[in-house]
Chains A and B, each alone.
Chain A
Protein backbone atom coordinates (compact mmCIF):
# COMPACT_ATOMS: atom_id res chain seq x y z
CA UNK A 1 0.00 0.00 0.00
CA UNK A 2 1.15 3.48 -0.83
CA UNK A 3 1.74 6.08 1.86
CA UNK A 4 -1.27 6.29 4.10
CA UNK A 5 -2.74 9.72 4.90
CA UNK A 6 -1.29 11.01 8.16
CA UNK A 7 -3.61 13.91 8.90
CA UNK A 8 -7.35 14.42 8.70
CA UNK A 9 -6.78 16.81 5.83
CA UNK A 10 -4.73 14.26 3.93
CA UNK A 11 -7.30 11.59 4.61
CA UNK A 12 -10.03 13.86 3.29
CA UNK A 13 -8.00 14.57 0.15
CA UNK A 14 -7.47 10.85 -0.37
CA UNK A 15 -10.75 9.27 0.60
CA UNK A 16 -13.37 11.81 -0.43
CA UNK A 17 -11.95 11.53 -3.92
CA UNK A 18 -12.64 7.81 -4.00
CA UNK A 19 -16.09 8.25 -2.51
CA UNK A 20 -16.90 11.02 -4.94
CA UNK A 21 -15.65 8.84 -7.76
CA UNK A 22 -17.93 6.05 -6.57
CA UNK A 23 -20.89 8.46 -6.52
CA UNK A 24 -19.94 9.70 -9.97
CA UNK A 25 -20.04 6.14 -11.31
CA UNK A 26 -23.25 5.42 -9.38
CA UNK A 27 -25.03 8.42 -10.95
CA UNK A 28 -24.32 7.02 -14.42
CA UNK A 29 -25.29 3.41 -13.65
CA UNK A 30 -28.42 4.30 -11.67
CA UNK A 31 -29.34 6.95 -14.24
CA UNK A 32 -29.16 4.39 -17.04
CA UNK A 33 -31.33 1.91 -15.11
CA UNK A 34 -33.79 4.61 -14.04
CA UNK A 35 -34.49 5.54 -17.67
CA UNK A 36 -36.10 2.12 -18.21
CA UNK A 37 -37.69 1.86 -14.75
CA UNK A 38 -39.24 5.36 -14.83
CA UNK A 39 -40.33 5.29 -18.48
CA UNK A 40 -42.17 1.99 -17.93
CA UNK A 41 -43.65 3.25 -14.63
CA UNK A 42 -45.03 6.32 -16.39
CA UNK A 43 -46.23 4.30 -19.37
CA UNK A 44 -48.24 1.88 -17.21
CA UNK A 45 -49.75 4.49 -14.88
CA UNK A 46 -50.11 7.62 -17.00
CA UNK A 47 -50.27 6.62 -20.66
CA UNK A 48 -51.89 3.20 -20.78
CA UNK A 49 -54.70 4.43 -18.52
CA UNK A 50 -56.20 7.84 -17.80
CA UNK A 51 -54.34 8.92 -14.67
CA UNK A 52 -57.54 10.54 -13.34
CA UNK A 53 -58.97 7.02 -12.86
CA UNK A 54 -56.25 6.18 -10.32
CA UNK A 55 -57.77 5.68 -6.87
CA UNK A 56 -57.32 3.48 -3.80
CA UNK A 57 -58.70 0.42 -5.58
CA UNK A 58 -56.22 0.78 -8.45
CA UNK A 59 -53.17 1.30 -6.22
CA UNK A 60 -54.14 -1.47 -3.77
CA UNK A 61 -54.69 -3.91 -6.63
CA UNK A 62 -51.30 -2.94 -8.10
CA UNK A 63 -49.40 -3.18 -4.83
CA UNK A 64 -50.92 -6.59 -4.09
CA UNK A 65 -48.75 -8.04 -6.89
CA UNK A 66 -45.31 -9.35 -5.87
CA UNK A 67 -43.54 -8.19 -9.03
CA UNK A 68 -44.89 -4.65 -8.56
CA UNK A 69 -43.50 -4.56 -5.00
CA UNK A 70 -40.06 -5.67 -6.23
CA UNK A 71 -40.11 -3.40 -9.28
CA UNK A 72 -41.21 -0.32 -7.33
CA UNK A 73 -38.68 -1.08 -4.58
CA UNK A 74 -35.82 -0.91 -7.08
CA UNK A 75 -37.34 2.26 -8.52
CA UNK A 76 -37.72 3.81 -5.05
CA UNK A 77 -34.20 2.95 -3.90
CA UNK A 78 -32.39 4.02 -7.05
CA UNK A 79 -34.46 7.20 -7.48
CA UNK A 80 -33.97 8.13 -3.80
CA UNK A 81 -30.18 7.74 -3.99
CA UNK A 82 -29.89 9.36 -7.44
CA UNK A 83 -32.14 12.29 -6.49
CA UNK A 84 -30.59 12.84 -3.07
CA UNK A 85 -27.07 12.83 -4.48
CA UNK A 86 -28.16 15.17 -7.29
CA UNK A 87 -29.62 17.60 -4.77
CA UNK A 88 -26.39 17.31 -2.74
CA UNK A 89 -24.41 18.30 -5.85
CA UNK A 90 -26.74 21.28 -6.32
CA UNK A 91 -26.40 22.38 -2.68
CA UNK A 92 -22.60 22.19 -2.93
CA UNK A 93 -22.65 24.18 -6.18
CA UNK A 94 -24.83 27.06 -5.01
CA UNK A 95 -24.21 27.38 -1.26
CA UNK A 96 -20.71 28.15 -0.11
CA UNK A 97 -21.09 28.85 3.62
CA UNK A 98 -20.34 25.68 5.63
CA UNK A 99 -23.19 26.37 8.08
CA UNK A 100 -25.76 26.78 5.31
CA UNK A 101 -24.49 23.64 3.57
CA UNK A 102 -24.68 21.65 6.80
CA UNK A 103 -28.29 22.55 7.53
CA UNK A 104 -29.48 22.15 3.95
CA UNK A 105 -27.88 18.71 3.80
CA UNK A 106 -29.29 17.80 7.21
CA UNK A 107 -32.79 18.66 5.95
CA UNK A 108 -32.14 16.85 2.66
CA UNK A 109 -30.90 13.59 4.21
CA UNK A 110 -33.68 13.62 6.82
CA UNK A 111 -36.34 14.13 4.16
CA UNK A 112 -34.80 11.47 1.92
CA UNK A 113 -34.62 8.99 4.81
CA UNK A 114 -38.20 9.67 5.85
CA UNK A 115 -39.39 9.34 2.26
CA UNK A 116 -37.55 6.03 1.85
CA UNK A 117 -39.10 4.61 5.04
CA UNK A 118 -42.60 5.71 4.02
CA UNK A 119 -42.04 4.26 0.55
CA UNK A 120 -40.82 0.90 1.85
CA UNK A 121 -43.72 0.76 4.33
CA UNK A 122 -46.27 1.52 1.60
CA UNK A 123 -44.75 -1.17 -0.60
CA UNK A 124 -44.04 -3.90 1.94
CA UNK A 125 -45.87 -3.31 5.24
CA UNK A 126 -48.90 -5.28 4.05
CA UNK A 127 -49.16 -8.85 2.83
CA UNK A 128 -50.09 -9.38 -0.78
CA UNK A 129 -53.66 -10.10 0.33
CA UNK A 130 -54.29 -7.44 2.96
CA UNK A 131 -54.74 -4.44 0.70
CA UNK A 132 -57.20 -6.27 -1.52
CA UNK A 133 -59.07 -7.62 1.52
CA UNK A 134 -59.34 -4.13 3.02
CA UNK A 135 -60.78 -3.02 -0.30
CA UNK A 136 -63.41 -5.77 -0.36
CA UNK A 137 -64.35 -5.04 3.26
CA UNK A 138 -65.69 -1.61 2.30
CA UNK A 139 -67.33 -2.90 -0.86
CA UNK A 140 -65.12 -1.47 -3.54
CA UNK A 141 -64.99 -4.86 -5.23
CA UNK A 142 -61.85 -6.75 -6.17
Chain B
Protein backbone atom coordinates (compact mmCIF):
# COMPACT_ATOMS: atom_id res chain seq x y z
CA UNK B 1 0.00 0.00 0.00
CA UNK B 2 1.07 3.55 -0.73
CA UNK B 3 2.49 4.85 2.53
CA UNK B 4 0.78 8.18 2.60
CA UNK B 5 0.51 10.56 5.48
CA UNK B 6 -2.47 11.79 7.50
CA UNK B 7 -4.48 12.85 4.46
CA UNK B 8 -4.47 9.33 3.06
CA UNK B 9 -5.54 7.75 6.35
CA UNK B 10 -8.30 10.34 6.67
CA UNK B 11 -9.54 9.29 3.23
CA UNK B 12 -9.24 5.52 3.89
CA UNK B 13 -11.18 5.82 7.17
CA UNK B 14 -13.80 8.05 5.48
CA UNK B 15 -14.25 5.45 2.74
CA UNK B 16 -14.47 2.45 5.09
CA UNK B 17 -16.88 4.17 7.50
CA UNK B 18 -18.95 5.46 4.55
CA UNK B 19 -19.39 2.05 2.94
CA UNK B 20 -20.13 0.49 6.35
CA UNK B 21 -22.75 3.14 7.18
CA UNK B 22 -24.47 2.80 3.79
CA UNK B 23 -24.75 -0.98 4.29
CA UNK B 24 -25.94 -0.46 7.88
CA UNK B 25 -28.61 1.98 6.60
CA UNK B 26 -29.92 -0.74 4.27
CA UNK B 27 -30.13 -3.26 7.11
CA UNK B 28 -31.61 -0.69 9.52
CA UNK B 29 -34.43 0.43 7.20
CA UNK B 30 -35.47 -3.14 6.28
CA UNK B 31 -35.28 -4.12 9.95
CA UNK B 32 -37.29 -1.18 11.36
CA UNK B 33 -39.60 -1.46 8.32
CA UNK B 34 -40.86 -4.74 9.82
CA UNK B 35 -42.95 -2.52 12.11
CA UNK B 36 -45.40 -2.48 9.16
CA UNK B 37 -46.44 -6.06 10.02
CA UNK B 38 -47.90 -4.87 13.32
CA UNK B 39 -47.36 -5.89 16.95
CA UNK B 40 -47.91 -9.58 16.17
CA UNK B 41 -45.47 -9.50 13.27
CA UNK B 42 -41.79 -10.42 13.30
CA UNK B 43 -40.66 -7.00 14.58
CA UNK B 44 -40.14 -7.79 18.28
CA UNK B 45 -38.42 -11.11 17.56
CA UNK B 46 -35.99 -9.40 15.19
CA UNK B 47 -35.23 -6.63 17.65
CA UNK B 48 -34.72 -9.08 20.50
CA UNK B 49 -32.22 -10.86 18.25
CA UNK B 50 -30.36 -7.60 17.58
CA UNK B 51 -30.34 -6.72 21.28
CA UNK B 52 -27.82 -9.49 21.92
CA UNK B 53 -24.42 -8.18 22.98
CA UNK B 54 -22.44 -8.81 19.76
CA UNK B 55 -24.86 -6.59 17.83
CA UNK B 56 -24.82 -3.95 20.55
CA UNK B 57 -21.03 -3.77 20.23
CA UNK B 58 -21.64 -3.46 16.49
CA UNK B 59 -23.97 -0.54 17.24
CA UNK B 60 -21.17 1.16 19.19
CA UNK B 61 -18.96 0.78 16.11
CA UNK B 62 -21.76 2.24 13.95
CA UNK B 63 -21.95 5.26 16.28
CA UNK B 64 -18.16 5.68 16.14
CA UNK B 65 -18.30 5.49 12.33
CA UNK B 66 -21.08 8.12 12.26
CA UNK B 67 -19.13 10.55 14.45
CA UNK B 68 -15.88 10.11 12.52
CA UNK B 69 -17.53 10.26 9.08
CA UNK B 70 -19.56 13.35 10.03
CA UNK B 71 -16.67 15.28 11.56
CA UNK B 72 -14.25 14.34 8.77
CA UNK B 73 -16.97 15.40 6.32
CA UNK B 74 -16.88 18.83 7.96
CA UNK B 75 -13.11 18.81 7.45
CA UNK B 76 -13.64 18.05 3.75
CA UNK B 77 -16.17 20.89 3.47
CA UNK B 78 -13.66 23.28 5.09
CA UNK B 79 -10.94 22.06 2.69
CA UNK B 80 -13.23 22.61 -0.32
CA UNK B 81 -14.84 25.92 0.56
CA UNK B 82 -12.31 27.92 2.57
CA UNK B 83 -8.98 29.38 1.49
CA UNK B 84 -7.17 27.95 4.53
CA UNK B 85 -8.74 24.45 4.81
CA UNK B 86 -6.16 22.58 2.73
CA UNK B 87 -3.25 24.32 4.48
CA UNK B 88 -4.48 23.12 7.87
CA UNK B 89 -5.98 19.79 6.76
CA UNK B 90 -3.53 17.77 8.89
CA UNK B 91 -4.28 19.73 12.05
CA UNK B 92 -7.97 19.53 11.20
CA UNK B 93 -7.71 15.73 10.98
CA UNK B 94 -6.13 15.52 14.43
CA UNK B 95 -8.97 17.74 15.57
CA UNK B 96 -11.44 15.26 14.03
CA UNK B 97 -9.77 12.35 15.85
CA UNK B 98 -9.72 14.26 19.14
CA UNK B 99 -13.38 15.27 18.85
CA UNK B 100 -14.38 11.72 17.83
CA UNK B 101 -12.67 10.41 20.97
CA UNK B 102 -14.15 13.23 23.04
CA UNK B 103 -17.68 12.42 21.89
CA UNK B 104 -17.02 8.67 21.99
CA UNK B 105 -15.92 8.40 25.63
CA UNK B 106 -19.17 9.73 27.19
CA UNK B 107 -21.11 7.44 24.82
CA UNK B 108 -19.03 4.46 26.00
CA UNK B 109 -19.60 5.47 29.65
CA UNK B 110 -23.36 5.46 28.98
CA UNK B 111 -23.60 2.38 26.75
CA UNK B 112 -21.00 -0.14 27.99
CA UNK B 113 -22.70 -0.69 31.39
CA UNK B 114 -26.00 -1.22 29.52
CA UNK B 115 -24.40 -3.88 27.35
CA UNK B 116 -22.79 -5.58 30.36
CA UNK B 117 -26.13 -5.55 32.18
CA UNK B 118 -27.77 -7.39 29.28
CA UNK B 119 -31.36 -6.94 28.22
CA UNK B 120 -33.49 -4.83 30.53
Residues in chain A near residue B35, CB distance under 8 A: 56, 59-60, 63, 122, 131
Q: Is the interface of B mostly helix, strand, loop or mixed?
A: helix
Q: Does chain A have a CB within 8 A of B97? A: no
Of residues A31, A52, A79, A84, which shows the largest number of chain B Cβ atoms within 10 Å of its Cβ?
A52
Query: A49 → chain B, closest Cβ, in Å?
Result: 10
A38 and B74: CB pair below 8 A?
no
Residues in chain A near residue B114, CB distance under 8 A: 50-52
A60 and B29: CB pair below 8 A?
no
Give the interface size class of chain A.
35 or more
Q: Does chain A have a CB within 8 A of B119? A: yes
A125 and B66: CB pair below 8 A?
no
A54 and B47: CB pair below 8 A?
yes
For A43-82 the 0/1 string (1 means CB < 8 A from B) is 0001100111111110110010000000000001001100
For B81-111 the 0/1 string (1 means CB < 8 A from A) is 1000000000000000000000000010011
